[in-house]
Amino acid sequence: MSSYDCDIGIVGVGAAGFAVAAGAAQFDARTVLIEKRHQLGGDCLHFGCVPSTALLRSAAVWAQARRARVSGLPLLMLPLVDLAAVMWIDKGVPERRMAGVRSEWMSFGVAPARGWPSARGSTFL
């Protein structure tokens, strides 16, 4: 079992944990972040906003290509969509974002730890 001496303990490294860590860094608070999953970033990065936005972008490119005639371009004969390929590309987006998120953590001076903390009283995690 690990123990940390800090001012703020953040449970979960999702969008909310990230925002709190960014704020805490501005007050020079000694902060520890603890995430139970191997991947940092929470739902937004891995299942929600980021992958769904990437999927929507792929759909928009496809829809635009189908409407080429509207812009005076030749009709494009498009093959069927390989959804597995689209998903594979979209999966890479969170992974690339994660690299950026990691370097931001470093700039906050906060190193996330992996674990499943439990509360012991009001001042101990």
Ligand X SMILES: Cc1cc2nc3c(=O)[nH]c(=O)nc-3n(C[C@H](O)[C@H](O)[C@H](O)COP(=O)(O)OP(=O)(O)OC[C@H]3O[C@@H](n4cnc5c(N)ncnc54)[C@H](O)[C@@H]3O)c2cc1C
Strand 8-11: give its sheet, edge to edge: 8-11, 31-35, 113-114
114 binds ligand X (CB under 6 A): no
**Residue type, position 70, single letter:** V
Choosing from 6, 8, 9, 15, the residue that interacts with ligand X (CB under 6 A) is 15
* Residue 123: count of CB within 10 angstroms of its CB: 7
Nearest approach, Cβ of 112 to ligand X (angstroms)?
10
Site size for ligand X (CB under 6 A) = 20
14 binds ligand X (CB under 6 A): yes
User: Which among 1-9, 39-47, 54-62, 78-86 is the span making contact with ligand X, rule CB under 6 A?
Assistant: 39-47
Choosing from 47, 62, 88, 124, the residue that interacts with ligand X (CB under 6 A) is 47
Where does residue 1 rank: exposed (0-12), middle (13-18), buried (19+ CB within 10 A)? exposed
